[in-house]
Amino acid sequence: MKFLDLAKVFIRSGGGGAGSVSFRREKFVEYGGPNGGDGGRGGDVWVEAVDGLNTLIDFRYQQHFFAKSGQHGMGSQMTGRSGEDIVLKVPVGTEVLEEDEETPIADLTEVGQRVMLARGGNGGWGNLHFKTSTNRAPRNANPGQPGVERTIWLRLKLIADAGLIGLPNAGKSTFLAAVSNARPKVADYPFTTLHPNLGVVGVDGREFVIADIPGLIEGASEGRGIGDRFLGHVERCAVLLHLIDGTSDDVVGDAQTVLTELEKYSPLLASKPRITALNKIDAMDAEEAAEKQAALAEALDLPVMQLSGHAKLGVTEVLRALWDQIAAGRAVELPDDQSADTWKP
């Protein structure tokens, strides 16, 4: 299945049915009076977050969604049938935006969450409503209200507990494949990952979700490369894992490049809790790894861990560090009598 995280959709709710102009026709009743029914109500347009979806690819092949209009009223005071609603089913984590791609309408973060995007028009009154003591045979009825037309954008931000960031070829996909059942493409050239991947990770009997996004390069915030298109997928993460290629000649410069692009994209994203790890330590000797680790720790002013996704060295320690940050974030929502240490997803 192809991955699509942005889609433009045109929606229209159903129009209300027109009211009926009708009169009673009975034998031996000369002036039966009005009995026109009301028009039916038009259908609404809803968006709903459902389980089992992780892409907006369906909206590439269908961009127009129209709810049914209500039926017109009929004689004998019969109200027209209301139009059927239409529901746009989207993955959990989908944002609904106005046509300008900036103004938010809804943010669907839970399964089953529903939001009305366009309300159907009310049906018109039949002539029965216009009968008065002085107008005993009204010959007018209301038309139904028209439906609402609007253009919206759907933007998917994957729901994950931790996000992987780094330059292309930093080993993010290799790490994800080593710690989960996910099978992202792994190769020895940059930009192997072209769309985000999700993996469920287990450590010490606990599970959480990691998102791997395409690598960032210098100038990503200005449109270079493709990584900036997918940074929104790690905005919801509780912690970021910053992987740095240990075989690089300038590990400090590589780390600063990624952090600079994060800051330019979103200061809020750059301020998230972050675990920094020197990757690919299996491709160098212990002395070189220690020197690069110390250089990174001094330049970034934070602890730096060592790991190798390929050889699975230091992986468990990194996962535990990620879980500590995730559990700390979840502890805010825990009951008072339940600590983060005892809580399990």
Please tell me the least confidently modeled range out of 44-48, 169-173, 245-249. 169-173
pLDDT at 335: 46
pLDDT at 8: 93
282 is in an annotated binding site: yes
172 is in an annotated binding site: yes
pLDDT band at 199 (very low <50, low <70, confident <90, very high): confident
What is the mean pLDDT of the segment spanning 117-136? Answer: 91
59 is in an annotated binding site: no
Does 130 score more than 80 pLDDT? yes
The 10 Å CB-count burial string (b at 16+, else e) for 53-87 is bbbbeebeeeeebbbbbbbbbbbebbbbebbebbb
Question: CB-based contacts of 333: which residues, under 8 Å, 6+ apart?
Answer: none
What is the CA 292 to chain-centroid distance, rounded?
38
pLDDT at 41: 94
E-strand spans in 132-175?
149-156, 162-165
215 is in an annotated binding site: yes
158 is in an annotated binding site: no
pLDDT at 343: 36
58 is in an annotated binding site: no
Does 39 score more than 50 pLDDT? yes
191 is in an annotated binding site: yes
pLDDT at 102: 84
pLDDT at 15: 94
42 is in an annotated binding site: no
205 is in an annotated binding site: no
144 is in an annotated binding site: no
262-280 pLDDT, tens per residue?
Answer: 888 778 778 888 889 898 8
pLDDT band at 201 (very low <50, low <70, confident <90, very high): confident
170 is in an annotated binding site: yes
Cα–Cα distances in Å, from 117 out to 45, 80, 88, 106, 149?
6, 24, 10, 9, 10
- What is the average pLDDT score of the chain? 82
pLDDT band at 82 (very low <50, low <70, confident <90, very high): very high
Which class does domain 1-156 fall in?
A: mainly beta
Torsion on CA atoms 280, 3, 92, 263, rounded to nearest 10: 50
Please tell me the least confidently modeled range out of 117-131, 149-163, 208-222. 208-222
Count of other CB atoms within 10 angstroms of residue 35: 20
31's enclosing H/E stretch is none
Task: Report d(CA 198, CA 173) in Å as an integer.
Answer: 10
279 is in an annotated binding site: yes
65 is in an annotated binding site: no
233 is in an annotated binding site: no
107, burial (CB in 10 Å: exposed 0-12, middle 13-18, buried 19+): middle
Does 336 score more than 50 pLDDT? no
171 is in an annotated binding site: yes
Does 105 score more than 80 pLDDT? yes
> How many percent of the chain have pLDDT more than 70?
84
Handedness of CA 225, 228, 181, 6 (dihedral sign): negative
168 is in an annotated binding site: yes
pTM for the complete prediction?
Answer: 0.70
106: tokens are 């809804």
Does 5 score more than 60 pLDDT? yes
Task: Report d(CA 201, CA 216) in Å as an integer.
Answer: 23
What is the CA 325 to chain-centroid distance, rounded?
23
Q: Kindly list the domain boundaries of the chain, sorted by start residue.
A: 1-156, 162-333
166 is in an annotated binding site: yes
Domain 162-333 has CATH 3.40.1390.10: no
Domain 1-156 identical in fold to domain 162-333? no
Read out DSSP for 214-261?
A: PPP-TTGGGT-SSGGGGGGGGTT-SEEEEEEETTSS-HHHHHHHHHHH
135 is in an annotated binding site: no
Phi first, then psi: give them for residue 234, nearest 5 degrees. -105, 5
pLDDT band at 215 (very low <50, low <70, confident <90, very high): low
Cα–Cα distances in Å, from 13 out to 43, 154, 304?
6, 18, 54
pLDDT at 40: 94
Enumerate the β-bridge partners of residue 78.
74
Does 339 score more than 50 pLDDT? no
173 is in an annotated binding site: yes
221: tokens are 């915030």
49-76 pLDDT, tens per residue?
Answer: 998 787 888 898 899 999 999 999 998 8
195 is in an annotated binding site: yes
